Amino acid sequence: MTQALRSLSITKSEQAFCDASEAFESLNLSSGLTLEQIVSAVEEIRGRRIRIKATDRLLGTAICGLWVPGRSQEWVFHPPTPWELQRQQFILHELAHMVLGHDANSAARVLLLEGLQSLSPELVRRALMRTEFRTVEEATAEYLADLMAEALRGTPTEPGAFEEVFG
């Protein structure tokens, strides 16, 4: 169980588990999955291209992922890491927010309508830079990311397919 789910009450944890499981099933992901295929599936759901970029600006912060939704494309930023599994988890967490439609909250909607330039840094931080896992929204996204990561690990071409390599 992730830290996200341990931080919530049993009822909220169960809701996060159910919502994430339902969202994962709705993705209808095939076997032999790659991260690129998951990104493509989410692009199809969202109707926009997703761009992913490592940025040094997140180094030394508590922020491990930043999703910036937009009209024609969406951005996922994450800190550079030498570990592919950690990079995948950063990306999958932000993709999970997209699948779950977490940009429908009022602060993110304002970002979409007004643009980043006219907003205070504090509003941007609260709307998009999630560093706490004590909310149902964050727990659900993390659990969905875990389910997607598990699907990736089920293929020997992705890092972490330990069982496939070593039996």
pLDDT tens, position by position, 100-157 = 998 865 454 444 444 445 545 554 554 454 445 568 888 899 999 999 999 988 765 5
pLDDT at 137: 87
Condensed to tens digits (0 to 9), the pLDDT of residues 50-94 reads 999 999 988 888 788 889 888 899 999 999 999 999 999 999 999
Domain boundaries, the chain: 3-154
In this prediction, residues 17-43 reach a mean pLDDT of 92
Of the candidates 41, 99, 101, 52, the one whose C-alpha atom is nearest the C-alpha of residue 74 is 52
This prediction's pTM:
0.75
Task: Give Cα 133 distance to the centre of its chain.
Answer: 12
pLDDT at 18: 92
Q: What does the angle CA 65 – CA 147 – CA 82 come to, to the nearest 5 degrees?
A: 45
pLDDT at 119: 46
Phi, psi of 89 (to 5 degrees): -65, -40
Task: Provide the pLDDT confidence category of residue 166 given band limits of 50, 70 and 90.
Answer: low
User: DSSP characters for 62-90?
Assistant: S---EEE--SSEEEEEE---S-HHHHHHH
pLDDT at 155: 61
The dihedral through the CA atoms of 123, 66, 43, 74 has a sign that is positive
